[in-house]
Chain A
Amino acid sequence: MNFLTALKLYYGRKITESLRNPAFMIMTAGLPVLYLVFFAPLLKNLPAGPGLPTGGVLNMFMPGLLCIIAFFGGLYVGFGLVDEIRSGIIERFRVTPTSRLAILLGPVLRDVTAMLVQALIITLLMIPFGFKVHWGGLLTLLVLMAMITWISASFSYTLALKLKSEDAIAPIVQGISWPLLLLAGFLLPMSLAPGWLQVAAHFDPLYYAVEAGRALIDGDFKQPAVWKAFAVLIPLMAIVSLWAARSYRKAVA
């Protein structure tokens, strides 16, 4: 069977499953509202200070916020896969004559879709609070975010496939999530950080995405941060995808 047909079937299955799951729908649509209610009011009263950009304060925080959504949108999805492995669903799919890569990418694309829906909701909700959208920049940022979710989801699924236990995945996922987020400077720009911290940040792929996001959100495509983010994320996406594809081909699920 051809790859795209199989991908469509596996993607469709996960989308149907998500639409039917009230908890998933509430979390997907509710999370942006939560950010808006609990976070945006704080920014309104933030005075302009050293290190903060001259533009709207929201324009500095939004890229970081979007990167968290993209990163967390993929990072924890492996937990759901453990249950599917246990109930034998993945094994059943793996004996069909469909591409094993499609079995992985169907769910990954669902995760990317859910993340994009969240990103759009949050963007639209932030506009009344003074967020100035540059649509071309936002579109480019969404591409970067889709790559982040693709990477974190593929990583999480493959981890689940290899470890087959929530208890084994949890410490790994927890252990990498916060250091990566903090080093990315998702709340405050890393330019405020001391030298050693700035050096450490350069080993964090998320850092490049957040930096690029701060340029893109104002439509500033000329900043080197933009091409640097793609230069870091494209190879990373290729590496994680290859690792995932290899594992799905060989896995004992």
Chain B
Amino acid sequence: MKHAVAANYYFNVTENFILAPQTQYTVASNDKVFWEAGFTSDWEIVDDFHVRTNINYAFLDDSWNQQNWFGWVRLERDF
């Protein structure tokens, strides 16, 4: 990677639900340029029990030979 700029804005939709739209602009070492955009959400169902979802899309054409959609869904209990 040569350089990149990433940004997100996270805020409480309700008391226990946080949403964060996010994006990144990247210039790779080969001077190819691409954008990624998506969101992450965190729902604390009860205290210390989080359902966290991260879904993104990378704007890459076929020549990159990569997947466009990526992310994860996470259940986590913190103590």
User: Do A and B bind?
Assistant: no
Task: List the interface of chain A (C-beta within 8 A of B).
Answer: none
Task: List the interface of chain B (C-beta within 8 A of A).
Answer: none
